[in-house]
Amino acid sequence: QKEVEQDPGPLSVPEGAIVSLNCTYSNSAFQYFMWYRQYSRKGPELLMYTYSSGNKEDGRFTAQVDKSSKYISLFIRDSQPSDSATYLCAMNPGNTPLVFGKGTRLSVIA
Amino acid sequence: DTGVSQDPRHKITKRGQNVTFRCDPISEHNRLYWYRQTLGQGPEFLTYFQNEAQLEKSRLLSDRFSAERPKGSFSTLEIQRTEQGDSAMYLCASSPDSEKLFFGSGTQLSVL
């Protein structure tokens, strides 16, 4: 079993839809959780950063962490064609290299 | 532009040749990471530096791979005797701590 599991998709939604992206993990020591967005042929870009459990909101983006279920989510409200990208979850216990999921490819259709 | 810079953006080489990539991190960041990403996969950790000290290397990093960060500034990643399985995007990231990584655009390596 990989440490971080993420459904690769692809996921296709109409413009304006609410998007839900998820990851599960097996290492209960993970405390720092991140979401990165990666456009084609570009490096990943940090989108959201959360420490431990709870929710964090930034504009149209909400990150949720449920440590009891070892499950994290990213919600995108009012999705736009410019949100079309690969979304990567990443996490670590702290002071060790980040472990990434495979990424979910998202297409938002106008 | 004060982001992470990687050079070259693309490299095509023949099997058996040596290649070297360069990474210039964000200047105030003391941590520098190298990751490798293949199509349809997330980035996989290779190695990282705190200032000039190489603190950790993944078991993915065979003896043909070597990384340096002289004087704690830019870093180079060298692959000797390249193999077709080395074809990937090589990503460099810098960080002010161990959590928030800021990536460059990567070097796409194709080994023919």
| Residue in the structure block whose two tokens are 């290397």 | B57
What pLDDT is attached to residue B58? 92
What pLDDT is attached to residue B71? 85
Asked if B48 is an interface residue toward chain A (Cβ–Cβ < 8 A), one would say yes
* CA pseudo-torsion sign B60, A30, A27, A34: negative
Average pLDDT, chain A: 94
- Residue B92 pairs with which residues in a beta bridge? B34
What is the tens place of the pLDDT at every residue in B82-98? 999 999 999 999 998 76
Exposure b/e, B41-51, CB count within 10 A at least 16 = b: bbbbbbbbbee
| pLDDT over 60 (residue B1) | no
What is the tens place of the pLDDT at every residue in B11-63? 999 999 999 999 999 998 999 999 999 999 999 999 999 999 999 999 878 89
Selected for mutation to probe chain B from A39, A87, A92, A100 (highest B CB count within 10 Å) is A100
Q: In chain A, which stretches have pLDDT less than 70?
A: 1
Query: What is the four-CA torsion angle of A59, A89, A99, A101, rounded to 10 degrees?
Result: -170
What pLDDT is attached to residue B60? 79
Nearest CA of chain B to the CA of A64: how many Å? Answer: 17
Tokens of B32: 């520098």
Amino acid at B33: Y
What pLDDT is attached to residue A94? 83
| Residue in the structure block whose two tokens are 């078991």 | B59
- Residue A33 pairs with which residues in a beta bridge? A50, A91
Asked if B54 is an interface residue toward chain A (Cβ–Cβ < 8 A), one would say no
